[in-house]
């Protein structure tokens, strides 16, 4: 097999790429946020810019912290550790893997390849998939960002933790009982591995920041657009109908594909909607969205994604409604 050999260091030229453009743009947004908001004279554009800037600026520290932790986990914690710490009983290993997601934080962009690596190293698929769902949904960065995005609503933070962990564990048990190895086709993948652990950390963090930052900007723009362009009466009518509100927020989470470290700030901008419908948005998003389904298809195969994503979506909505009905009403 032919290998691509890097050119000598002296011949490499630094070029401005997508990552650098994103970083420069986000820094400019943070520094010039007041000027951006006051630049527009149209009231609707002022409102939209205010929503957009506030979402991005509030979410940025959590996004940076999340991708740094994700890079550290990928670089410094080998997947083989799981084989030593997981219980031999596969049914018991599922909730242990779910709880491990709280100790090994990472965004959903990182959780899919990490889960693929775990499976390739012999970790039971049910445990790896439980971790895939739990890690981006219940890690400390996500919980703290939810607390900041919803001041005065500690019950919502608890509800997100319980509903997300329950979803991950239940889906893991479903896969353990009904899943088949033939549904998973482990594709060959390019790893962001460097010559040293620090280089692996740098590449992984840069990769996750580029993807997560881009989706954050996109999600904030869409949230601002929806809050301003769509008539308030229409939005209110959707929010007042529990079924429509749940469906709308679940669909929005799937389409926006926002990083879990930032999705709470987007959810909080939809002030017309109930806490339970916002909970649906925050539970569904880190587990089932467009980019995740695409990544799962690429790593585990189409047959897997066609079964795993719908199952996860149904369980996530059901757990959100149950937990929300108990804690948020």
Residue 13 in any domain: the answer is: no
pLDDT value of residue 38: 59
pLDDT value of residue 325: 95
Q: Which phi and psi angles does 151 have, rounded to 5°? A: -65, 140
Q: Which domain holds residue 230?
A: 18-182+195-327
Give per-residue burial for 79-110: e unless 16+ CB within 10 Å, then b. beebeeebeeeeeebbbbbbebbbebbbbbbb
Residue 1 in any domain: the answer is: no
Q: Which phi and psi angles does 305 have, rounded to 5°? A: -60, -35
Residue 160 in any domain: the answer is: yes
pLDDT value of residue 36: 57
Residue 190 in any domain: the answer is: no
Helix (H) or strand (E) holding 12: none
pLDDT value of residue 33: 54
One digit per residue, pLDDT tens: the chain, 329 residues? 444 444 444 444 545 555 556 666 666 655 555 555 555 566 667 677 777 776 677 667 766 776 676 677 667 777 677 677 888 899 999 999 999 888 765 666 667 767 776 776 678 899 989 988 998 899 888 999 999 999 989 999 999 999 999 999 999 999 999 988 888 876 444 455 667 888 878 777 777 677 666 666 776 777 777 777 778 788 899 999 999 999 999 999 988 878 788 889 989 989 999 999 999 999 999 999 877 787 778 778 889 989 999 999 999 999 999 999 999 98
**What span, in angstroms and rounded, lies between the C-alpha atoms of 111 and 171?**
16
Integer angstrom CA distances of residue 201 from 16, 184, 253: 21, 28, 29
Is 42 strand, coil or helix? coil
Domains of the chain: total: 1
- Contact call for residues 57 and 29 (beta carbons, < 8 A): yes
pLDDT value of residue 134: 93
Residue 188 in any domain: the answer is: no
Residue 4 in any domain: the answer is: no
In 16-149, beta strands by DSSP E: none
Q: Where would I find the H helices in 261-301?
A: 263-268, 275-284, 290-300
Residue 2 in any domain: the answer is: no
- Judged on CB neighbours under 10 Å (0-12, 13-18, 19+), 24 is exposed
Integer angstrom CA distances of residue 285 from 82, 158, 180, 264, 280: 26, 17, 25, 10, 8
- The token duo for 238 is 């959707």
Integer angstrom CA distances of residue 315 from 123, 173, 189, 207: 23, 12, 29, 30
**What span, in angstroms and rounded, lies between the C-alpha atoms of 26 and 17?**
14
Minimal CA–CA distance to 144: which of 261, 56, 258?
261
Residues contacting 230, CB < 8 A, separation 6+: none
The single-letter DSSP state of residue 273 is: S
pLDDT value of residue 108: 65
Integer angstrom CA distances of residue 60 from 33, 69, 221, 227: 13, 14, 15, 21
How far the first Cα of the chain sits from its last, in Å, is: 60
Q: Which phi and psi angles does 272 have, rounded to 5°? A: -75, -20
pLDDT value of residue 13: 54
Residue 136 in any domain: the answer is: yes
């Amino acid at each position: 097999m032919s290998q691509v050999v890097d050119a000598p260091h002296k011949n490499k030229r630094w070029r401005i790429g997508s990552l650098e453009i994103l970083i420069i743009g986000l820094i400019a947004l943070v520094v010039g946020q007041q000027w951006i908001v006051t630049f527009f004279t149209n009231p609707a554009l002022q409102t939209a810019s205010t929503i957009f800037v506030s979402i991005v600026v509030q979410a940025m520290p959590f996004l940076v912290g999340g991708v740094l932790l994700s890079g550290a986990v990928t670089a410094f914690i080998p997947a083989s550790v799981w084989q030593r710490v997981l219980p031999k009983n596969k049914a018991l290993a599922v909730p242990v893997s779910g709880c491990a997601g709280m100790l090994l934080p990472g965004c959903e962009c990182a959780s899919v390849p990490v889960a693929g690596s775990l499976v390739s190293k012999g970790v039971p698929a049910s445990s790896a998939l439980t971790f895939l769902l739990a890690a981006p949904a219940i890690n400390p960065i996500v919980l703290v960002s939810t607390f900041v995005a919803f001041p005065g609503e500690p019950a919502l933070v608890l509800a997100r933790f319980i509903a997300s962990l329950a979803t991950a564990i239940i889906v893991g048990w479903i896969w353990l009982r009904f899943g088949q190895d033939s549904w998973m086709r482990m594709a060959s993948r390019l790893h962001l591995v460097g010559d040293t652990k620090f280089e692996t950390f740098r590449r992984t963090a840069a990769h996750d920041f580029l993807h997560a930052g881009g989706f954050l900007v996109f999600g904030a723009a869409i949230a601002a657009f929806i809050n301003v362009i769509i008539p308030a009466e229409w939005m209110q009518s959707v929010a007042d109908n529990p079924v429509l509100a749940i469906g709308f927020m679940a669909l929005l989470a799937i389409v926006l594909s926002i990083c879990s470290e930032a999705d709470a700030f987007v959810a909080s901008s939809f002030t017309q909607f109930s806490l339970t419908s916002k909970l649906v948005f925050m539970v569904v998003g880190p587990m089932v969205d467009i980019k995740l389904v695409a990544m799962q298809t690429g790593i585990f195969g189409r047959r897997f994604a066609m079964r795993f994503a719908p199952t996860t979506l149904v369980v996530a909505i059901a757990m959100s409604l149950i937990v929300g009905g108990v804690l948020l009403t």
